[in-house]
Structure 1
Amino acid sequence: MRNIQKKTEPTSLTQHRCNTNTDYDNYAEKDDLRASLVSEQRGICCYCMQRIRPDSENMKIEHWQSQDIYPQRQLEYKNLLGACRGGEGQKKDKQHCDTKKGNLDLTFNPADPSHNVEKKIHFLGDGTVESKDLQFNREINEVLNLNEGALVRYRKGVLEAFRQRLSQKELSDADIRKELPKWNGDNGQELDPFCQVVVYYLRKKIDRMASKRTSK
């Protein structure tokens, strides 16, 4: 999970909301919404960070606060996110993200700047993800199931591949710092799946390098 910067909503959503007797179900231009969500999330799921594409086969439109419990927010763009299919149709223990979450609530929204989920998420070397916030940590495991086996293996594989690449080159501290904006998408490009695992690793590594310099 990483912070999402919400942008301008699709014009079709704005116009639909201005009509009478409107709701999410009778909003016909959902392809507009999918395209906007995938673009602002740079092609990755709002929760697990797998690749998503702007069509119904490759993503779901997620209501951070569910339509059933919070109908007043069903057309609110700040409440809408792009999620992967999340193991739809598989056993419950294999489902994750929106498919697992259903109508349950989450404490933090990756698209709310005040929540700053990147400060609350920690990625471990074995591929697991956790939070020091006990409530959020429970939600990571029980509501979103982000430590489902396949997701853990994917995250571990991305991190190990990156670390192996670093070990094969004689990189200076400056070279290592240059890796961070690439993985963090600072130039606005499409993000690599599970990119935040490497971003978290690089930020810790850069912090350690800075500490060594100041301690000399």
Structure 2
Amino acid sequence: MTQHRQQPHANYDNYGDKAALRQTLVAEQRGLCCYCQSRIRATPDGMKIEHWQCQAGHPARQLDFGNLHGVCLGGHGRLESEQHCDTRKGNTSLCFSVCDPTHPIERKIKFLGDGQIKSDDATIDAALNNVLNLNWPRLASNRKAVLDAFKQRLGKGNLNVAQELKKWDGTQTGELPEFAQVMVFWLEKRMSRANK
């Protein structure tokens, strides 16, 4: 991509190695959509490449790797009310980046027991709901199912919370389980209560 950027008239549309770019993004994101955390695959029908700052509004960033994310198809072709992630976002700007280590968005959101995602920051909460549609009922139901399965295992009593956290937080190598951040939120919350 660096070499392509140096060519005259270089842009994202005429960049020729999108297959390698997809592979890199999926590996970096451990197989999860950067927004909803559903599974993505490094194929044209298994994911899309998202420009966090849209190409229309930020043409200088269209070939900036730090501006590119792997996202799910987000209900492409469905009614707008059923679209989510980049498909719903389109050219709308977000008030946060999912990849900014100096301001991690994970610390500003909560995952509720009913599968909803929420933020106490009204601007972020509006983006989660109105721009990305991350509380679309199917996504909320999927997050709730992951949490409910965890609670069932927890109820059986033989669960090491610290070890379980390693499975979900990226400490271990390989793909992360879908909706991993839901479990990281709940496990960290549980550990915090246990340490008080």
TM bucket normalised to smaller: over 0.9
**Alpha-carbon separation, structure 2, partners of 1:56 and 1:170:** 41
What is the CA deviation profile of residues 6-65 of structure 1, one whole-angstrom value per residue up to 9, with x for unaligned ones?
A: xxxxxxx11111212100000011001100000000000000000000011010000000
* 2:177 matched residue in structure 1: 192
C-alpha RMSD of the superposition? 0.8
> Which amino acid in the other structure matches residue 54 of structure 1?
A
2:122 maps to 1:137? no
Shift of 1:98: 0.1
* 2:155 matched residue in structure 1: 167
2:69 maps to 1:84? no
Which TM-score applies when normalising by structure 1? 0.89
**Alpha-carbon separation, structure 2, partners of 1:169 and 1:135:** 39
Shift of 1:187: 2.0
**Alpha-carbon separation, structure 1, partners of 2:143 and 2:158:** 25
Shift of 1:169: 2.8
> Which amino acid in the other structure matches residue 162 of structure 2?
R
**Alpha-carbon separation, structure 2, partners of 1:152 and 1:21:** 43
> Which amino acid in the other structure matches residue 89 of structure 1?
G
2:186 maps to 1:201? yes
2:45 maps to 1:57? yes
Which TM-score applies when normalising by structure 2? 0.98
Consecutive aligned runs of 4 or more in structure 1 exceeding 2 Å deviation = none
* Residue 98 (structure 1) aligned to one of 76, 79, 86: 86
Q: How many pairs align?
A: 196
* 1:31 matched residue in structure 2: 19
What is the CA deviation profile of residues 73-127 of structure 1, one whole-angstrom value per residue up to 9, with x for unaligned ones?
A: 0000100000000000001110000000000011110111122011011000000
* Residue 113 (structure 1) aligned to one of 86, 101, 124: 101
* 2:58 matched residue in structure 1: 70
Shift of 1:199: 0.8
**Alpha-carbon separation, structure 2, partners of 1:146 and 1:104:** 15
Q: Which runs of 5+ in 1 are unaligned?
A: 1-12, 212-216
Report the secondary structure of 1:186's partner residue. Answer: coil
Report the secondary structure of 2:195's partner residue. Answer: helix
Q: Which runs of 5+ in 2 are unaligned?
A: none
Shift of 1:183: 1.0
**Alpha-carbon separation, structure 2, partners of 1:145 and 1:53:** 21
**Alpha-carbon separation, structure 2, partners of 1:152 and 1:170:** 27
Report the secondary structure of 1:193's partner residue. Answer: coil
**Alpha-carbon separation, structure 2, partners of 1:128 and 1:23:** 38
